[in-house]
Structure 1
Amino acid sequence: MSPFELVFAVYGLLLGLSIAEVLGGFSRTLKLKRGARPVRIGWLTPLLGILVVLDLTTFWLIAWEARDQISANYLTLFGVLAIVGTYYLAATLIFPEDPTEWPDFDEWYDKQNRMVIGGLLAANVGSWIGQIGLEISKPTPDAELAMSDAEMVVVWAGVVVFALLVALLKVKSRKWNVALLVTVIALLLVFGIAEEFV
């Protein structure tokens, strides 16, 4: 078993549980449509769920790209557990555990969004610190000092997404929250697809 396979076993398990938690929330929400008690789902909570799934997917790809640099040691496993554990905790807060207790999901979003977005920010910062640590400790032999234009676009996209997530922590208007969530989701999709061509 390679060091990456050992680390990725923990990584994949927790990321999979995080994604399952979000999908479970979507499933519970879809089942509400058939229930007798009316529940207003709105846009905010489902958009937050989509955002988290996309961010988790991005994080999974980051691990794959760093596979040759990852070593199996306590610090690496602890870092992975901290980052992915943060994602898992954020994922558990997106949807109410008992949706019938929340007749308006926008109210649930108002209550939980800052913890979820804060968790995403913390996990992303942890990921960036990990990536920088890998680059410093084990640079690839053919690494160039200068970044290509395409790589700079990806870096700036990350900065823009980070800034929009910070804005989501501050904005209280539901309309602005929807606009920011849609923008971040669109950017993650566009830059995720564009990165394939970098």
Structure 2
Amino acid sequence: MSAFEFVFTFYSLMLGLAAANVGTGFADMWRDRRAIQVGVCAPLLAAIVLVATMNLWLRFWRSWEGVEVGPWALITLVAYALPLVFLSRAMFPGAGSTTSLEDHFFQHRRVMLAALAATPGFSLIWYAAQGTLMPDWPNAWLAIRFFAPLALMALTGRTANRLGLALILVWMLVGLFR
């Protein structure tokens, strides 16, 4: 097994866990749709997490030549994936909760938006530490991914948050094809 295959297996497991949590959350939303109001924010956030996992997976796939096995490689990958695993669980209230998914988002939105900003934030820190933080398209894409959730923290309105999450999702989809 190559170093890339070894590390990629671990990383894929973490990203797959985030995607599986979102899939389970969607199934729970559908199952409980008559008892709990779904709203807009939770499905948008779930879609963002799915697209973010795809973005991370593709970005890592493109970097396979330079992958080395070691503690810093694993710490870095955990820093990238763990916020998405956390978010994939935290965005849905626990079983038996009667809180609407929209209300749950607004009760915990700052933590969720911080988790959403964490992965691109870690990437920006990593690139700055490597001296490769340049004013180019990939870094601009990351900067917007980092600052957009932080900007949403300042907006308390439901419409503004729904629109902001929708724009982040569109931005994430654009990044998927970059």
- TM value normalised by structure 1: 0.80
- Alpha-carbon deviation of 1:82? 3.0
Amino acid at match of 2:117: L
Amino acid at match of 2:100: D
Q: Give the secondary structure class of the aligned counterpart of 2:65.
A: coil
130, 152, 174: which one aligns with 1:190? 174
94, 102, 107: which one aligns with 2:103? 107
- Alpha-carbon deviation of 1:46? 0.9
129, 137, 148: which one aligns with 1:153? 137
Question: Would you identify which runs of 4 or more consecutive aligned residues in structure 1 move more than 6 Å?
Answer: none
Aligned-partner Cα distance in 1 for 2:84–2:36 = 27
- Alpha-carbon deviation of 1:173? 0.8
2:28 aligns with 28
Once the two structures are aligned, what percentage of the paired residues are identical? 23
2:123 aligns with 127
1:73 to 1:135, Cα distance in 2 relative to 1, 3 A: farther
2:156 aligns with 172
Aligned-partner Cα distance in 2 for 1:51–1:66 = 23
- Alpha-carbon deviation of 1:182? 0.7
Q: Give the secondary structure class of the aligned counterpart of 1:163.
A: helix
1:128 to 1:5, Cα distance in 2 relative to 1, 3 A: farther
- What is the number of equivalent residue pairs in this alignment? 177
Q: Give the secondary structure class of the aligned counterpart of 1:101.
A: coil
Q: Check whether the contact 2:11–2:81 (CA below 8 A) recurs between aligned residues.
A: yes
Q: Check whether the contact 1:10–1:81 (CA below 8 A) recurs between aligned residues.
A: no
2:62 aligns with 65
Aligned-partner Cα distance in 2 for 1:52–1:173 = 22
Q: Which 10-residue stretch deviates more, 183-192 or 78-87? A: 78-87
Task: Report the aligned-residue RMSD.
Answer: 2.2
- TM value normalised by structure 2: 0.88
1:78 aligns with 75
Q: Which runs of 5+ in 2 are unaligned?
A: none
Q: Which runs of 5+ in 1 are unaligned?
A: 137-145
